[in-house]
Amino acid sequence: MKIAVCVKQVVTRDWPLRINDSHTWVDDRDASFEMNEPDAYALEEALRLKEQHGGEVVVCSAGPPRVNQVIREALARGADRAIHVEAESLASADGAMVAEALAAPMEEEQFDLVLTGLQSDDQGFAQTGVVLAEFLSIPHATIIMEVQVGAGRVRVKRELEGGWFQWVSMSTPALLTIQSGINQLRYATLKGIMAAKKKEVRLVEPPAELARRQEILMLSVPERTKEIRLFDGAPAEAAGKLVQALKDDARVI
């Protein structure tokens, strides 16, 4: 089975983000980056499916040259090769633009299964995978918690709201967006890291007419709508004041 996994590189979760001077994106010049967490679960699921059913796992990513970091990480965890659609303009691209950038090289590959994370930790539009399925003209299902592969078909457990689930089947090729927590993640071994250096990363130019589908007019810090009482001082002092307030003011203990 030939499986594609789309991964996105995002700013590290704990990075102290600042808004850039034009108020349209974050200033990520000195930031550290990591693999978008839901995509890491999609990668893990692809590796497990390959272990069960054989085949190959191809990592696909769209972004500037720095994206190579997460591609190498995915290769170190066990992916076989990679496709990198490379352009500076993809650094803060919306989901539909990313999907369009990935579509042409991915279509050539004729994958049986395409996996993506359900959303990104930065923009969080939750649509790159779904739109990619439209570009590839293949069926899709989202927020998947289990994948069963049969001959020419997949049966997947889709998470619904409020603790409900549903099994959905479709023929392959198909695209699935993977929910975090579907599996337990593995980490790269030293052997994997060494092996990754020899694996193929194919650089591809994005289509010439590629353009943004939505623009960020202004990025700002949300206004606080609720009054908050912050307790400062050393931990013992702050904790003492908090416990007092919970007893005397909130009366909840």
Partner 1 sequence: MILVIAEQRDGVLHQASWEAVVAAQRTTQAVQVLVAGSGVMSVAEDLATADIDSVLMIDHPLLEAYTPDGFIEAISQVVRSMSPDAVFLAHTYQSREFAPRLAARFQQTLVTDCVATKQVGDRLVFVRPMFQGKFVADVAPVALSPCFASFQIGAFRQDAVVRGSDSAAIYPQEVVIQDDMIRQEVEPPFQEAKQAVDLSQAERIVAVGRGIKSKDHIELVERLAAALGAEVAASRPICDSGWLPMDRQIGSSGQTVSPKLYLALGISGAIQHLVGMKGSRTIVAVNKDPDAPIFEVADFGIVGDLFEVVPAIISALSE
| Residue 220 C-beta: closest distance to partner 1, Å | 6
Which residue's CB is nearer to partner 1, number 61 or number 179? 179
| Residue 202 C-beta: closest distance to partner 1, Å | 25
- Residue 194: other Cβ atoms inside 10 A: 11
Which residue's CB is nearer to partner 1, number 84 or number 111? 111
| Residue 137 C-beta: closest distance to partner 1, Å | 10
For residue 238, give both structure tokens: 């702050």
Half-sphere exposure of 220 (CA within 13 A, CB side): 5
Answer whether 37's CB lies under 8 Å from 163's CB.
Answer: no
Q: Examine residue 16 and say whether the peptide bond preceding it is cis (omega within 30 degrees of 0).
A: no
| Residue 85 C-beta: closest distance to partner 1, Å | 18
Which residue's CB is nearer to partner 1, number 26 or number 104? 26
Which residue's CB is nearer to partner 1, number 30 or number 164? 164
- Residue 34: other Cβ atoms inside 10 A: 18
Answer whether 18's CB lies under 8 Å from 27's CB.
Answer: yes
| Residue 64 C-beta: closest distance to partner 1, Å | 18
Which residue's CB is nearer to partner 1, number 65 or number 240? 240
| Residue 176 C-beta: closest distance to partner 1, Å | 11
Q: CA end-to-end span of the chain, whole Å?
A: 58
- Sheet holding 113-117: strands in order across? 153-159, 140-150, 174-178, 113-117, 2-6, 56-63, 81-86, 201-204
DSSP single-letter state for residue 199: S
Which residue's CB is nearer to partner 1, number 176 or number 196? 176
Answer whether 178's CB lies under 8 Å from 38's CB.
Answer: yes
